[in-house]
Amino acid sequence: DADVTQTPRNRITKTGKRIMLECSQTKGHDRMYWYRQDPGLGLRLIYYSFDVKDINKGEISDGYSVSRQAQAKFSLSLESAIPNQTALYFCATSVGESTYEQYFGPGTRLTVT
Amino acid sequence: GQSLEQPSEVTAVEGAIVQINCTYQTSGFYGLSWYQQHDGGAPTFLSYNALDGLEETGRFSSFLSRSDSYGYLLLQELQMKDSASYFCAAYGGATNKLIFGTGTLLAVQP
């Protein structure tokens, strides 16, 4: 079984809809991250969490919110989806001070029409 | 601001050696990581340099020069399976975040 899982893997939604992307991990890592990837722009950090009670904004948090339901679960919500949120979304984890070594889930391809 | 620059594309032949460069401008820099991402896949961690010099892991090596704000990933004995995107990422210890470069697409030709 994969250590970091994301659901759904693919999603098509309409403008204005609320959508939640979920991430679960069995690695026992305390730190979790949400990134989006757009062609030519690399990976950009949306939100990150160092433990259940710690949530921090990343570079591009506008239009997104997160919830850390448990150490193993970190969800990303788009409150009102817009077409320029069409992207590939990755969840990642790391342990302790080793933020430089992150483990990524398989990604969710989101299309907003 | 914080930024990393790397070439957008590199092409090499099977069996050859290729170097992917990365220059960075980041505050509170602690070290440089490298990730590989195959088309449609998830990024996977390759290496991390906190100190100046060369770190070798099998066919892959990574180098860092803090004084030059520069690093590179060296891939030897290239194989077709090495065709992928490679990202450098600066680790800011004070911010505890990774800032990724825009990636270098490596195409290995027969």
Amino acid at A65: S
Predicted confidence band at A1 (pLDDT cuts at 50, 70, 90)?
Answer: low
- pLDDT for residue A39: 85
Residue B80, classed as helix, strand or coil, is: helix
> Alpha carbon of B81 to those of A5, A35, A69, B3, B9: distances in Å?
24, 25, 38, 29, 16
How many Cα atoms sit within 13 Å of A81 on the Cβ side?
20
Q: Is the peptide bond before A8 cis (omega within 30 degrees of 0)?
A: yes
Phi, psi of A84 (to 5 degrees): -80, 5
Neighbours of B28 (CB within 10 A): 13
User: Among all residues of chain A, which has the CA nearest to that of B50?
Assistant: A100
Predicted confidence band at A31 (pLDDT cuts at 50, 70, 90)?
Answer: very high
Neighbours of B48 (CB within 10 A): 18
Pick B48's closest partner by Cβ from A43, A101, A107: A101
B9-48 pLDDT per residue, tens: 999 999 999 999 999 998 889 999 999 999 989 999 999 9
- How many whole angstroms separate alpha carbon B82 and alpha carbon B84? 6
- pLDDT for residue B2: 77
How many Cα atoms sit within 13 Å of B101 on the Cβ side?
30
User: Structure tokens of B99?
Assistant: 């800032």
- pLDDT for residue B40: 87
pLDDT for residue B95 is more than 80: no
Looking at the complex, does the CB of residue A107 fall below 8 Å from at least one CB of chain B?
A: yes
Looking at the complex, does the CB of residue A34 fall below 8 Å from at least one CB of chain B?
A: no
Kindly determine whether residue B100 and residue A44, on different chains, have CB atoms separated by under 8 Å.
yes
Q: Which of A14, A3, A4 is nearest to A107 (CA)?
A: A4
CA A96 vs. chain centroid, Å, equals 19
- How many whole angstroms separate alpha carbon A85 and alpha carbon A46? 12
Mean pLDDT of B66-94: 94
